Amino acid sequence: MDSRERSLVVVSAGLQQPSSTRLLADRLAAATGAALADAGVPLRVETIELRDHAQDLVNHLLTGFPSPKLEAALRSVVDADGLIAVTPIFSASYSGLFKLFFDVLERDRLDGMPVLIGATGGTPRHSLALEHAVRPLLAYLNAAVVPTAVYAASEDWGQSERPADDSLGDRIERAAGELVRAMAVRERVATVDGFAEPVPFDQLLRSGSGD
Amino acid sequence: MQFGVFTVGDVTPDPTTGRAPTEAERIQAMVAIALKAEEVGLDVFATGEHHNPPFVPSSPTTMLGFIAAKTDRIILSTATTLITTNDPVKIAEDYAMLQHLAGGRVDLMMGRGNTGPVYPWFGQDIRNGIPLAIENYALLHRLWREDVVDWQGQFRTPLTGFTSTPRPLDGVPPFVWHGSIRSPEIAEQAAYYGDGFFQNNIFWPMSHVRRIVELYRRRFEHYGHGRADQAIVGLGGQVFMRPNSQDAIREFRPYFDHAPVYGGGPSLEDYMAQTPLTVGSPQQVIERTLEFREGVGDYQRQLFLMDHAGLPLDTVLEQLEILGSEVIPVLRREFERLRPAHVPHAPTHASLLAARQAADAPRPQLAVAGVGE
């Protein structure tokens, strides 16, 4: 893994202050930073609290364009080397605010992006929502979601270490390790900027004619 | 610089009274707006084309032909003509006919249309939006320039030995603008043909507008039609005016808050900050419109949206009076003063005819002595 600085964006859809969703997000980011530091790679972390963009997300949905502040947040995500996305589980799935953010992200912009997904909830019974709701959403966006998803129920924050059980700390470390390995092998594909390099017209004309 | 109005043709209840115009009232209102636009000295009236309620203008050439008969000077245009779902052969015929009847006072703006069901209603697929726009326009372009066309494409039945009638007036096809908010392919298309590019920036921040217009200008030069700053650019705008800006905001706010396109979204103030919407005094409209020029360079056509969201006809006509008497004369003077000599005006039938005649005229023999053979 080359030692150039990597950028990590953390998207947290927690609503309360303080929020356990943010707490989990911070733990995941710290573990990722530590694993990269072991490899001698510096990490720049930017955390996006979706609550700060809640009005702008609705406005974007209604008007079709982002406010300057939201646009900067969206750009940070697509320009990152890796993404941590954490949501509370509401009604068997990600929160509406979490979904809004990915709804307004331009299509194809998460192509191949290494993503670690996490979620929080009141009881462990909602943990598979990560697998049946959050993972398919990111898979649809062509993101490279790491195998370990981290769910934290209220009781996880107090659970003592038991040898036979995977503690929250263990899961966080395993998932962070997977994210770092995915970020290490990711080839940055330069995004094609259709405004800087338009498809030449003769090519548009040929593809239109089905040749 | 040309100034004009463009209308979507929506039937929307007036949120302050709850009353919606009938289709008959809305259609007559659109005509009244066009006639008023000419009366107050505007250069262009453009109508939308829609095939679903709450919009009435499904048949633009019928309406524009009627307006042509009642006006003398104003250019009749569209915003936009659906190049994706209309048959390009019928566009060629309809608009050539309109061009004859209107004495050349016709141009068109091509657009793809973003109402999903309209595509299948007309036998097309919205996923082919760009390829349809490219192929259909390529055919339309030939039909107006070649007397007999043999053609085969992906989307339409082939043509062998087809002549589109009537031929364009004086052999000069109507000038075409290509409208797009965010598709670089359409900017590329406009640049390739040396046609105009219209950015309907009323729903879009200037940072984005600038990017796509820059692309069009750069490619216009690439394809050899002139320098980038000579490309033909049009912009949208949206204004509501009162002598006192606070009065304008108070009166317009209910229309903004309940408009189908804005309602429930950002506040009027945020929307004004992020898009060209200007609600205020005529002087504020003048200043804001001159700022557009700083964003995209010297441009050729400015269209304003004046009549949507349920604004009553009387108010719209009054707004047109203010636009024509207090805003446009100042903008004309300022834009003309700022325009470098090499930046052209928007093409008109007269200018295109003159350019063609100049190109066709036999070159005077050069009396050069001493040049071998």
| Domains, in order of start, for chain A | 6-208 (3.40.50.360)
Residue B305 phi/psi, 5-degree rounding, is -90, 120
Q: Is the pLDDT of residue B42 over 50?
A: yes
CA dist., res. A71 & res. A69, Å (int): 5
Would an 8 Å CB–CB cutoff place A198 in contact with chain B? Answer: yes
Is the Cβ–Cβ distance between A131 and A138 less than 8 Å?
A: no
The whole-chain average pLDDT of chain B stands at 95
Calpha distance B334→B177 (Å, rounded): 24
Pair B259, B228: CB distance under 8 Å:
no
Q: Do A209 and B208 touch (CB under 8 A)?
A: no
Interface check B268 vs A, CB under 8 A: no
Residues from chain B contacting residue A63 (CB–CB below 8 Å): 203, 261-262, 265-266, 271
Rounded Cα–Cα distance for residues B208 and A60 (Å): 14
| Residue B198 banded pLDDT, cuts 50, 70, 90 | very high
The neighbouring-strand residues paired with B151 are B159
* B window 91-130, beta carbon within 8 A of A: 130
Helix and strand element counts for chain A (H, E): 8, 7
Q: Is the confidence at residue B368, as pLDDT, over 80?
A: no
Mean pLDDT computed over A194-211: 81
Residue B34 banded pLDDT, cuts 50, 70, 90: very high
Q: Spell out which residues of chain A touch residue B274, defining contact as CB-CB under 8 Å.
A: 65, 67-68
- Contact with chain A for residue B211, Cβ under 8 A: yes
Half-sphere exposure of residue B352: CA atoms within 13 angstroms, side-chain side: 19
A-interface mutation test, from B130, B134, B199, most A Cβ less than 10 A away: B134
For residue B131, the chain A residues in CB contact (below 8 A) are 204, 207-208
Nearest residue of A to residue B210, measured between CA atoms: A195
Contact A204 B188 (CB under 8 A): yes
Identify all chain B residues contacting A68, using CB atoms and an 8 Å cutoff: 205, 274
Reading the block at residue A149, the tokens are 């998803």
Q: What is the pLDDT of residue B108?
A: 98
pLDDT at position A211: 41
User: Do residue A63 and residue B264 have CB atoms under 8 angstroms apart?
Assistant: no
Report yes or no: A85 and A115 within 8 Å, Cβ to Cβ: yes
In the numeric block, which tokens belong to residue B303? 């269209």
Joined tokens for residue A41: 């790679």
Q: How far is A41 from chain B (nearest CA, A)?
A: 35
Radius of gyration of chain B (CA): 21
* Contacting residues for B17 by C-beta, under 8 A, at least 6 apart: none
Beta bridge partners of A46: A9
Q: Of B23, B177, B153, nearest to B88 (Cα)?
A: B153
Q: Residue A62's closest chain B neighbor by CA?
A: B265
DSSP readout, A60-125?
A: HHHHSS--HHHHHHHHHHHH-SEEEEEEEEETTEE-HHHHHHHHHSPTTTTTT-EEEEEEEESSGG
Q: Using pLDDT thresholds of 50, 70 and 90, give the confidence band for residue B367.
A: low
Which residues from B are below 8 Å from A205, CB to CB?
Answer: 134-135, 138
pLDDT (0 to 100) of residue A210: 44
First to last CA, chain A: 43
Task: Specify the 3-state DSSP secondary structure of B162.
Answer: strand
Residue B240 clears pLDDT 50, i.e. is over it? yes
Q: What is the mean pLDDT of chain A?
A: 92
Looking at the partner chain, which of B184, B192, B266 has a beta carbon nearest the beta carbon of A63? Answer: B266
Q: Say whether B271 and A63 touch across the interface (CB within 8 A).
A: yes
Q: Is A147 on the interface with B (CB under 8 A)?
A: no
- Nearest CB to B192: which of A59, A63, A201? A201
Q: What percent of chain A has pLDDT over 70?
A: 93
| CA geometry: angle A180, A4, A189, nearest 5 deg | 75
Give the closest residue to A60 by CA, choosing from A47, A70, A50.
A70
Distance between CA atoms of residues A116 and A29, nearest Å: 10
Q: CA of A54 to nearest chain B CA: how many angstroms apart?
A: 12
Task: Quote the pLDDT of residue A203.
Answer: 94
Mean pLDDT of B13-27: 96
- What local confidence, expressed as pLDDT, does residue A165 receive? 61
Chain B residues 316-345 with CB within 8 Å of chain A: none
CB A24 within 8 A of CB A120: yes
pLDDT tens, residue by residue, B95-118:
999 999 999 999 999 999 989 999
Phi/psi-derived region of residue B311, left when phi > 0, alpha when psi is between -120 and 50, beta in every other case: beta
Set out the domains of chain B in order of their start, with CATH numbers.
2-360 (3.20.20.30)
Distance separating alpha carbons of residues B81 and B198, to the nearest angstrom: 13
Q: What is the DSSP string of B17-45?
A: T-PPPPHHHHHHHHHHHHHHHHHTT-SEE
pLDDT of residue A193: 81
Contact residues for B209 (Cβ-Cβ < 8 A; gap 6+): B199, B201, B235, B295, B296
Report the gap between the CA of A195 and the closest CA in chain B (Å).
Answer: 6
Q: Are B34 and B40 in contact (CB under 8 A)?
A: no
Closest Cα partner for B3 from B317, B364, B332? B332
Question: What distance in Å separates the CA atoms of residue B47 and residue B203, rounded to the nearest whole number?
Answer: 18
For chain A, say whether B184 makes contact (Cβ under 8 Å): yes
Whether A208 and chain B come into contact, CB under 8 Å, resolves to yes
Determine contact: A209 vs chain B, CB below 8 A.
yes
pLDDT for res B373: 43
Strands B175-179 and A150-153: unpaired
Q: Which residue of A has its CA nearest to B138?
A: A205
Tens of pLDDT, residue by residue over A147-189, are 999 999 999 988 665 555 678 999 999 999 999 999 998 877 6
Closest-CA distance, A209 to chain B, in angstroms, reads: 5
Residue B292 has pLDDT above 90, yes or no: yes
A192 interfacial to chain B (CB closer than 8 Å):
no
pLDDT digits (tens, 9 = 90+) for B161-189: 999 999 999 999 999 999 998 899 999 99
Cβ(B345)–Cβ(B230) below 8 Å: no
Query: Quick check: A195 and B184 CB within 8 A?
Result: yes
| Helical spans, DSSP H, in chain B | 23-39, 60-70, 88-101, 118-121, 129-143, 184-193, 206-222, 245-258, 268-274, 282-296, 313-322, 328-338, 349-360
Q: Is A211 at the interface with chain B, CB within 8 A?
A: no
pLDDT value at residue A18: 87
**Residue B219 at interface with chain A, using a CB cutoff of 8 Å:** yes
Q: Is the pLDDT of residue B365 over 70?
A: no
CA distance linking residue B62 with residue A188, whole number of Å: 54
| Whether the Cβ atoms of residue B307 and residue B37 lie closer than 8 Å to each other | no
Rounded average pLDDT over B239-268: 94
Residues in chain B with CB shorter than 8 Å from the CB of A207 are 131
DSSP β-bridge partners for residue B215: none
